[in-house]
Each structure stands twice: as C-alpha cells, then as structure tokens.
Amino acid sequence: MKNLLHSIRFGETTAEGNIFLAPMAGYTDRVFRSLCLEEGADMSVTEMVSCEGVARGSVKTIDLMTRAPNEKILNVQLFAPDAETARRSCARVMKANPQILDFNCGCPVPKVVKTGAGSALMKNPEEIGRIVKALKEETGLPVTVKIRTGWDSKSINYLECASIAFENGADALSMHARTKSQLYSPYADWSTLKTLKENFPDRIIIGSGDLFTAEDGVRMLKETGVDAIMYARGAIGNPFIFRQTKALLNGEELPEISTEMKIEKIMYHLQGLSSILGENAACREMRKHVCAYLKGIKNGAKVRHMISSALTIEEYKDQLGQLT
C-alpha cells in the first residue's frame, strides 16, 4: 500500500504533506489558519472570497485574502456565478500574491446558490469549465475546484463535473461527499470519493465530509484512495487534529490533548483575533470557537455560559481559570 502521508504538488507549488484545512466561511480567517498550520496542517484555504466583491474593490472582501504570518502557501477560495465575473476579479486577486486558487462549486448556502454560484454551478458543468479556463488564463496559477456529488439524489454528476474541470486545466479536485440538497446530513457517502479517484487515478483528488477525528482522516485515506484530506468542522475547536492525524499515519500513539493545552490555544487564538479586530469584537467572535474548544471538558458548559457575556481578555482568563 502506498504511503498515506506524502507531499502534494500543485503546479510549481508543493505542500509538504496531504492533511489540509478546508475553507469555512466565518471560521478560516488568518488567525485560525495560522493556528492549524502551527498544529501540523500542510495547507489551509481562505474563507470564500466573492469575485464580484473583489472586482468592485470591497475592502472587507479583499481583507479575506490577507496571508497569515506562517502561511507559506496562500490558497484563496473564490466564488462566482460565471467566468466573466471570475475573470474581472483576477487583477485584484493577484495583488494578494496567492500561490493557489480554489474555486467553489460546492457551497449549499442559499444566499450563494441563489446568485448562481456555489453548488448551483453543478447544474451547469460547462460553466465550471469556462471558469477554470478563465482563472488559468488570467493568473497562470494552479487552480483547484471544490464540488459536491451533485445537486440532489436525482442529479449525481460529480464525474461529469470533474471531467470538465480537468479538461479545462484544473490542477486538483476536492469533493465533499454529499449532494447540495443534503447540506451536512445524513452521513457523507465516502464511496463516491473512491469512485472519483478510480475514474481519475492520475489526478489529485482531495476528500472531505464527516472528518471529525484523526481516526476518521486515516480511515478516509485508506478506504477511498484519495490523495489528500481536508478537515472542516472537525478542526473547529480542535486544531490539534492535524498533529494527531500525522501521528497515527506515522504509526505513533494518538497524542493526548490536555485541558491546559486547550486553554493555552484559546488564549492565543483570542489574542490573535484581538490584534486584528480589537478586544471587544474579538471576544464576541471567539465565543463560537470556545464552545467547540470546551466540548466534553468538565465544567466546560458552565464556563461556556459565563464566557458568552465576556467582553475582555481578562474576563476570558478568569473564566477559563475555573477549568484548572
């Protein structure tokens, strides 16, 4: 059996390993990406960046492309309803100096889908091809494409979408193993990832969907044959999952993560957000992360409740101190 832990090459850019952080709107800002990279992620991807917003010069949209200090590979995920919109964004996208562009054809959120972007593009595979071609022509960068298995159970067309993307120059394809209509339940169908890889054995295929533990990641690599995996929800509150996965793939015991380690990471995370957003806004933004960090910890529910009203870093310290 092939070595499950290995480097991945995207054009002229090489990721040292194949355990990645998936893009998640509202979560994978540069602070969280930095934390995951510190904990062993081999590559991270930005939150979804609107090509229309970039083309119009939206400061908030452009800020999403800011590189984290330790981010050697800046992989910017873009979304747009058509090739022309994607093309118009390229000049400003390139000012961020990315190494890879990822194009989203999988987001199921209504406000994205209703514009014809995200997973709506799976109903128009030819447009996916035109978008990939436009991005390649305008930037010269490696372009990866994120898809789902189809729009719904009656339109499973991931093989067609993958074929068109690759024909038009896509350097890799990642797939969340659910349809758009399934959103995030029930279980992801990993057999589709296996089929995808079998149909494109010489292409880079990245798997995602229901990866909540290091054991899940190892199992997906073994069962599906995909070249790499992307942790999404499984990394929220648990950036340690990358280190743990690599330990298992190297035949080592699963590293234990202590409460003290989680508290240290929470405070580091909060300080990072504070340096960008300001203390008050950072404390509010951090609440959703803390809920995940403290899941399953003794007295965690009580502390989470108290932190829900914390507005200063000192208040966070005081409340988290009750856990030790």
Catalytic residues: 107
Using a 10 angstrom Cβ sphere, with 0-12 exposed, 13-18 middle and 19 or more buried, the burial of residue 110 is exposed
Query: How crowded is the C-beta side of 97, counted as CA atoms within 13 Å?
Result: 6
Tokens of 106: 């999988």
The whole-angstrom separation of Cα 272 and Cα 275 is 5
Q: For residue 2, which phi and psi values (nearest 5 degrees)?
A: -65, 155
Cα–Cα distance list, 260 to 81, 213, 217, 314 (Å): 45, 20, 25, 17
Strand ranges (DSSP E) for 125-211? 143-148, 172-176, 204-208
Q: How many CB atoms lie within 10 A of CB 305?
A: 10
Partners of 173 in the beta sheet? 145, 205
